[in-house]
Amino acid sequence: MRIAVFSTKPYDRTYLTATNERMGSPHQLTFYEPRLTPQTAALAEGHDTVCVFVNDEVHAETLATVAEHGVRLVLTRSAGFNHIDVPRARELGMEVARVPAYSPYAVAEHAVALLLALNRKLHRAYSRVRDQNFSLAGLEGFDVHNKTLGVVGTGTIGTVFTRLMRGFHCEVLAYDPYPNDEIVRLRGTYVDLDELVSRSQIVSLHCPLTADTHHLFDADRFAEMPQGALLVNTSRGGLVDASAAVDALRSGHLGGLAIDVYEEEADLFFEDRSEQIITDDTFARLLSFPNVLITSHQAFFTREALENIADTTLANASAFETGEGELHRVA
């Protein structure tokens, strides 16, 4: 297939090219650095497939343009697909495919890393020691051992995260509309979301962003959390009302926030903006808190995950083209 790859970073080019060559080069890949948006959609001309990532804007206007240029397939190099208007794509006769599970370990391990770093203030200790400041003031954390941990969303990643955290002997409370036996086997207990939030000293989010989960953590939810609790979000930024998080941090009620995702990340993440003024006041305020740790959507970023993303993405293209092999359609 003739695939226009948007939001290309050097690692996308490396892994997709290597996979395509290993497959015998069945696909023609054109790499574009810009995101796919209504403004860049015309770059799809001459291609039958667009290949996108999490901050591309694959909404009605974009889809209409790429459809006009003959695109029949949208491949996302991600598990989440909230950046794609899937019903509209189908109305326009396009198929949409994703990478359902490329490495739950990558994301779950990053969530553990964020939690431990936030709790033990490693982000502050690192720069302090480099400045030859060996004071421990303000670096106190708590034992994760025996704490109550709330896991919201117990699908692939939430389950791996739970398994890892059981090593700390946490009491695991879980919330998911579709409970999973593996969590019960790991001695997790399903409760409703209110109970999870009000009892957990640590909450980690692993559910998708949908209309139902948008701002799942808002001012009311933060107020329900125990004083000093920590929140970790490696799922999607829109799950958390960032302004409400700022208020909860400023009041001291929320003990710390570690995020790999941010609702307005599309204009920030994946680029070097060190020479720029950040105009998003909420994000700038979050950066100013000592008890906020932010990474820029890197939870997926392991060698194994990148290989799997490239393999499944191009296998999806081949399955669409030949009708053979598994096409991971967005349901």
| Residues recognised as catalytic | 236, 265, 297
Cβ of residue 111: shortest distance to ligand NAI, in angstroms? 9
Closest approach, Cβ 193 to ligand NAI, in A, equals 7
Chain Cα centroid distance, residue 276? 24
Contact present, 19 and 91 (Cβ < 8 Å) = no
Both ends of the chain: CA-CA distance in Å? 22
Q: Give me the residue whose beta carbon is nearest to ligand NAI.
A: 155
Residues 6+ apart with CB under 8 A from 189: 171, 172, 173, 174
Q: For residue 202, give both structure tokens.
A: 């640590």
* 263 vs 52: CA distance, rounded Å: 18
Q: Which residue has the tokens 């967005």?
A: 330
- Binding region for ligand NAI (CB under 6 A): 79-80, 101, 104, 107, 152-158, 175-178, 206-209, 212-213, 234-236, 260-261, 297, 299-300
Closest separation in Å from C-beta 211 to ligand NAI: 10
Which lies closer to ligand NAI via its Cβ, residue 66 or residue 152?
A: 152
Of 66, 64, 59, the residue nearest 2 (C-alpha): 66
Residue 201 CB, shortest distance to ligand NAI, in Å, is: 19
- Cα 241 versus chain centre, distance: 16
- Residue closer to ligand NAI, measured from CB, 48 or 260: 260
* Shortest distance, position 259 Cβ to ligand NAI, whole Å: 9
Strands 254-259 and 292-294 turn out to be parallel
Helices (H) and strands (E) counted in the chain, each on its own, are: 12, 12
| Rounded CA separation 131/148 (Å) | 35
Nearest to ligand NAI of 79, 229 (CB atom): 79
Q: Which is nearer to ligand NAI, 2 or 214 (CB)?
A: 214
CA-to-CA distance for 153 and 165, rounded, in angstroms?
15
* CB closer to ligand NAI, 12 vs 176: 176
